[in-house]
Structure 1
Amino acid sequence: MNKFLFPLWMLLVTASLTAQTTAKGYVYNDANKNGKKDRNEKGIAGVSVTNGRDVVLTDGAGQYQLPLGTDNIISVIKPSGYNVAVNADNQPQFYYIYKPAGSPEMKFEGVKPTGKLPASVDFGLTAAADNDNFTALIFGDPQPYDLDEIDYFTRGVVAEVEGIKNVPFGLSMGDLVGNDLSLFNPYIKAVKRVGIPWYNLLGNHDLNFDAETDEMADETYEAHFGPSNYAFNYGKVHFIILDDVLYPDPRDAKGYWGGFRKDQLAFVENDLKYVPKDHLIVIALHIPILDIWDDAFREEDRDVLFQLLKEYPNTLSISAHTHLQRQEFLGKEQGWLQEKPHHHFNIGTTSGDWYSGKLDEKGIPISVMRDGTPKGYAFIHFNGNQYTIDYKAAGKPADYQMEVFAPNLVSSVKKNKAYVYANFFIGSKNDTLQYRVDGGTWKDMEFMEKPDPSYTELVMEWDTTNELMPGRRSSDPEDCNHLWRGKLPVHLKDGEHVIEIKATDMFGKIHTATASYKSATIK
């Protein structure tokens, strides 16, 4: 044997092994939008790329290099000033899946074998005129369990925002479907109709329930949507999308638990190294990091996340999952490490109370949630590193921000305990609500946490009817944490009286509503 051949052979083997344990490529300006790097297309420097744990920046030529295992998704973290391509279904194409052997065999198919890694895994971006002032459209839990509910979602929610203008992207907050992962494609076709790039995150009803480890529980999700942990930038906002569903539950291997694996928290830490401190950090996850239910979220994981965010004065976290709506402000008691409380918005759902309730004029369930919040969606308006939020009740005018409950008739001479109630959907206990009757003096309303009587009335209709109604009985009422009441005055003249309600939200916006009731004398 030639003594020079052995070292050359070893060099080739080493190079081959390196090629399969290292991903490298370019992030480049895809000027002609053909999806491949042409010779005259320049690389983009300083762009973050990740393997799901490690994060690196591209060099001056736009090149990156990352360690690679046998189950990785390489993704570019879209910088501000650029767009990623979308496929025919408006799903952003910012990732490359590397699973040489494919996903393990499960009830619902995962990723097919991807084979050998390409010599260069490149990501094309196109220059865009990012505006620091923009709006994102947010859907909570579409969660259809069958094609009928896909239809309810499509006609009841998607149709309302189809062709929307001046909104650069949308995001669904998990539970894209209801356990039947064959519904991913019908769901994708539904949100495609909105007509804008659409991001997604994983919910507890989007899992491969026959997976033996948490790492394998998102295989079908990955096949349809890519990584379940990723990030992107728009304007002065950095979005981090996280799978916070631990399945199987690490405590007893049954069910699920809210929290993160160590590699996910490592991804957040590595990602934030390259994010300016003055940017707004938006954490999007399915299960809320709140103490809504006992032990619903692993507190030590929340503590680590808060530790990673402590140097960022502008933060927001958003979730869904509960089929309720609430605003919470987390302070030191919850482990937050800044003086200014952290705002967590638990968003109401597009499926409402799981497509229950009476049918509307289109044959779609009204699906009011258990706290009286109507099904709907949110708009988050960003201006630099600041934001405001609007909630839009599906099928209702934009100014429908409160449900008001008042008695129909009260005595005009006897003492009474009649109250007017206002369920202010976007509200929190920090907000101010006032009311007045017949143009009188404005008075403060009393905040309380109890079931919304307007929702209780909806449920009771199912229990007191003498005729079966189409649709499905709504769930039992739960306490609403955005409910106020005011005592109605007595000794008014017989006849109709007008109640005006004025709500000032956390962003200083004023919302109004009216109702009426009658006074009468017993004869």
Structure 2
Amino acid sequence: MLTKRRSFLKSIGLGGLGLSYVHTLDAHTPQVGTQTTDISVVRIKGKVQAEGKGLAGVAVTDGINITTTDAKGNYELLSNASAEFVYIATPRGYEFTNQNGVARFYQPVKAVNGAFQAIFTLTKLTQDDTRHNFIVWADPQMISKEDAELFLQQSVPDTRKLLDSYKQKNNGQMPPFHGVGCGDLVWDHFELFDDYQKGVTATGIPFFQVIGNHDMDLTARTDEHSAKTFKSTFGPTYYSFNRGEIHYVVLDDVFFIGTAKKYIGYLTERQLAWLEQDLALVKPGKTVVIFMHIPANTGDPRRNKAKEEPIGGVVANRKELYRLLQPYKAHIMSGHTHFNEKIVTGDNLVEHVHGTVCGAWWTGPVCFDGTPNGYGVYEVNGSTIEWYYKSVGHEKDHQMRLYPIGASKEKPDHVVVNVWNWDPAWKVEWLEDGKPMGPMTQETAFDPLSVELHEGTAKPAKHKWVEPQLTDHLFFAKPSVAASKIKVQVTDRFKNIYTQEMDVKHS
């Protein structure tokens, strides 16, 4: 009987919950006052179609198990009443179904007599999506209408201007483009989701959403209920989609521990089991892009000589994520930290920790590592991805900030440059009065502008707890006493060259 029971539980998506939970299924009379979960069988079926014809091979999921449509576009899932949504991984070559820009690739499950039907109708793209682009908005994190106005009057128009530039280069037609709100869309004030959605609509491109720690219901008793408002607004918290040759996955790595504003970076077994199924449909060697709010890893503990990793700052069980991504060329996109960082691991993995849309919580023009308020821009050609960081209010070639002698407290006789999107494939060199002087010296230090704006208990006035944070993307050089002009030349991993010059003023 036990073997049959395990087979049944697996068929309805509960096989991995363990025998301690299975035992409760045998209790014919629940205890008074307990909350029970309905796990009765629900048969979900339907069709994925376009232009009146069924689409074969489209992945369909209830968030527990994944199936694919047959040759006529039909599918069937044996699910259970705990499933909240049925949703698809939009295949390449098709538009992202959306409502005013917010991706709607799902349908809430509303079973009647143990059955539910969902039909998904897609529209074919008018352009080849082998080449496409996307942007990542990390942490709009609005706590007030004042913040929302800054978002709508600064960040959104800047994004719109950038998108228009791509449209102009594409003969007046917007190339395939999508966006991802990478969590902390608001700052615990759910009424501001409306303002976030206004911003999405204004961009004119479809956006997918990631749940952040400030997008959760803080009165929930467990993590399972903490995404109730987010789900009612944006749908599932983990899912996948395809565009061109890239497979994209959104994950929920914020685990609420039942106390307001307390959480850890963690991927649940249910998600990991789902992800294994999802990636099983992707050929090894393909490019996979993962979006989640909390970074899998950062250099922050190393920079601050911490004995332990902050449990809310990185993903505790990231090794399993890395294992699942090993067969692929992978990128992990995150936000959360309010600093910008790239972590490159071998040939297969790049982790992009994004500077934020709100900077240091809408207190001024920079994050607390000196990275400008902004967002990531990614250009895809086949399986290859190139990227840059777009600073709000600046042109796309604004990729560094050069400071004069005396700006850095740590090295007052040096010039310093902050190259916020730096990774080990970049070169940062300098010239003195036209003479090449070689590479600048990379050091961990504080950005001078962040120190000016954020250091001390009295500033910034809006959020006095903001302080400068150590960063690795600062580079130093000591001009000679006779120097009159220095020039910094930065070459990124894609061979783009950026320069900035400055007159030397000796004290």
Shorter-normalised TM range: 0.7 to 0.9
In the alignment, what sits opposite 1:225? 234
Q: Hey, what's the Cα distance between the residues in 2 that align with 1:474 and 1:168?
A: 37
Partner of 1:65: 76
Tell me the SS of whatever aligns to 2:494: coil
Distance 2:420 2:261 in 1: 34
Q: Is this contact kept in 1: 2:405–2:506, CA < 8 A?
A: no
Q: What is the match of residue 28 of structure 2?
A: none
In 1, distance between residues paired with 2:369 and 2:456? 17
Q: Deviations over 1:185-205 (max 9, x none)?
A: 221112210111111110000
Question: How far is 1:443 from its partner?
Answer: 2.0
* Conserved? CA contact 2:406–2:414, under 8 Å: no
* Correspondences of 1:202-221 after superposition (within 5 Å): 202-221=211-230
Q: Does 1:347 align with 2:354?
A: yes
1:320 matches 2:335: yes
Matched, 1:121 2:112: no
Identity %: 30
Q: How does 1:104-183 map to 2 (within 5 A)?
A: 119-128=116-125, 129-162=127-160, 164=163, 165=167, 166=175, 168-183=177-192
The SS at the match of 2:267 is coil
Segment drifting more, 187-196 vs 454-463: 454-463
Aligned residue for 1:482?
473
Q: Which runs of 5+ in 2 are unaligned?
A: 1-37, 168-174, 302-308
State the match for 1:194 in structure 2: 203
Say if 2:256 and 2:263, in contact at 8 Å, map to a contact too: yes
Equivalent residue, structure 2, for 1:453: 448
Answering whether residue 495 of structure 2 is matched by residue 508 of structure 1, we say: yes
In structure 2, the residue corresponding to 1:246 is in which secondary structure?
Answer: strand
Question: Where in structure 2 are the equivalents of 1:109-508 lying within 5 Å?
Answer: 119-128=116-125, 129-162=127-160, 164=163, 165=167, 166=175, 168-248=177-257, 255-291=262-298, 292-293=300-301, 294-296=309-311, 301-312=317-328, 314-330=329-345, 340=347, 342-357=349-364, 366=365, 368-407=366-405, 418-459=413-454, 475-492=466-483, 497-508=484-495
Q: Classify 1:137/1:131 alpha carbon distance in 2 versus 1 (closer, same or farther; 3 Å).
A: same
For the structure 1 residues 97 and 512, does the alpha-carbon distance in structure 2 shift closer, same or farther, using more than 3 Å as the test?
A: same
Instruction: Give the match's secondary structure for 1:475.
Output: coil
| Partner-residue secondary structure (3-state), 1:187 | helix
The runs of 5 or more residues in structure 1 that have no matched partner are 1-16, 32-40, 101-114, 331-338, 358-365, 410-415
Cα distance change on mapping 1:300 and 1:473 into 2, 3 Å: closer
- Cα distance in 2, alignment partners of residues 350 and 99 from structure 1: 37
Q: Distance in 1 between matches of 2:195 and 2:482?
A: 59
- SS of aligned partner of 1:153: helix
Aligned partner of 1:459: which letter? H
Rate the CA distance shift 1:302–1:395 in 2: closer, same or farther, 3 A. Answer: same
Q: Deviations over 1:404-429 (max 9, x none)?
A: 111379xxxxxx96211010011024
User: Greater CA radius of gyration, 1 or 2?
Assistant: 1
Distance 1:397 1:84 in 2: 29
**1:11 corresponds to which residue?**
none
Q: Distance in 2 between matches of 1:18 and 1:145?
A: 38
**Whole-angstrom CA distance in 1 between matches of 2:453 and 2:193:** 32
- Tell me which moved more, 298-307 or 445-454: 298-307
What's the C-alpha RMSD, in Å, of the aligned pairs? 2.7
Partner of 1:28: 49
Following superposition, the deviation at residue 49 of structure 1 comes to 0.6
Question: Aligned residue for 1:76?
Answer: 88
CA drift at 1:457: 2.8
Specify whether residues 474 and 445 from structure 1 end up closer, same or farther in structure 2 by C-alpha distance, changes over 3 A only: farther
Would the alpha carbon gap of residues 116 and 214 (structure 1) be closer, same or farther in structure 2, given more than 3 Å must change? farther
Q: Is the 8 A contact 1:228 1:243 kept in 2?
A: yes
- Give the counterpart of 1:98 among 93, 109, 123: 109
Aligned residue type for 1:275: V
Q: Distance in 1 between matches of 2:115 and 2:193?
A: 28
Q: Please give the alpha-carbon distance, in whole angstroms, between the structure 2 residues aligned to 1:275 and 1:63.
A: 21
Count of paired positions: 445
CA contact (8 A) 2:200 2:206 kept: no
Q: Distance in 2 between matches of 1:50 and 1:200?
A: 18
Q: Distance in 2 between matches of 1:229 and 1:425?
A: 29
SS class of match (1:290): coil
SS at match of 2:49: strand
| 1:19–1:454 distance in 2 versus 1, CA, 3 Å | closer
| SS of residue in 1 equivalent to 2:44 | strand
1:141–1:320 Cα contact (<8 Å) kept: yes
**C-alpha distance after superposition, 1:371-418 (max 9, x if no partner):** 111100110111111111110110112221101111379xxxxxx962
SS in 1 for 2:474: strand
1:48 to 51, 55, 59: 59
Aligned residues of 1:130 and 1:234 also touching (Cα < 8 A): no
The whole-number CA distance in structure 2 between the counterparts of 1:18 and 1:221 is 23
Farther off after superposition, 91-100 or 57-66: 91-100
Q: Secondary structure at the match of 1:205?
A: helix
Contact 1:82–1:130 (Cα < 8 Å) also in 2: no
- Quote the residue 2:15 is aligned against: none
Letter of the 1:288 partner, please give it: P
